[in-house]
Amino acid sequence: MRTDKSPTKATPKRIPTEPGASDAISLLVEDHEHVKDMFEQFENMTDRAVVGKKKLADEICAELTKHTTVEEEIFYPAVRGAGKEFADMIDEAVVEHASAKQLIAEIEAMNPGDDLYDAKVKVLSELIEHHVREEEDELFPKVRKTKLDLVALGEQMAERKAEL
């Protein structure tokens, strides 16, 4: 019987989130799950749910804006400082954030009845899904192996997110 916690081939690469965990990565994964759930809710709404769609899309945009701000102001600089091997991953993440911010601005300026509204929300969802997969499968496992104090970083991030 295995007693270590090393992943096996059958184990998904997803980073587990422990209930009540407050380290930086757990907080980010929690955000990822929350936004994924909201995108799924949006996808299941009918075209007649105009008010609900607008409210939910605006909530998605607000959550993503807070999340990207915390990553860019606190998490990414800390990770970048942890080693040169993170530079390319962080650079790519920042470019993905820029694309997401552009779509967010367009979605916030629109209404559900407008041409391409649903398409823009869908593309934002796909962009975020790709971004999340890269962070959770590649970046986060490598960050966990560094000497970063992820609990202290998580506390800083939680405080900043509360300010936003």
CATH of the domain at 89: 1.20.120.520
Please check whether residue 104 lies inside any domain of the structure. yes
Per-residue confidence (pLDDT) for residue 48, from 0 to 100: 86
**Alpha carbon distance 127, 131 (integer Å):** 6
DSSP letters of 103-118? HHHHHHT--TTSTTHH
Confidence bin at 22 (pLDDT 50/70/90): confident
pTM, to two decimals: 0.84
Please check whether residue 8 lies inside any domain of the structure. no
Confidence bin at 153 (pLDDT 50/70/90): very high
Q: In the chain, how many domains are there?
A: 1
**Alpha carbon distance 140, 135 (integer Å):** 6
Average pLDDT over residues 60-75: 97
Return the closest-CA partner of residue 153 out of 66, 25, 24, 17. Answer: 24
Question: Under 8 Å CB-to-CB from 89, ≥6 apart: which residues?
Answer: 134, 138, 139, 142
Average pLDDT over residues 99-123: 96
Please check whether residue 7 lies inside any domain of the structure. no
Please check whether residue 19 lies inside any domain of the structure. no
Please check whether residue 55 lies inside any domain of the structure. yes
Please check whether residue 2 lies inside any domain of the structure. no
Domain of 116, in residue numbers: 24-163
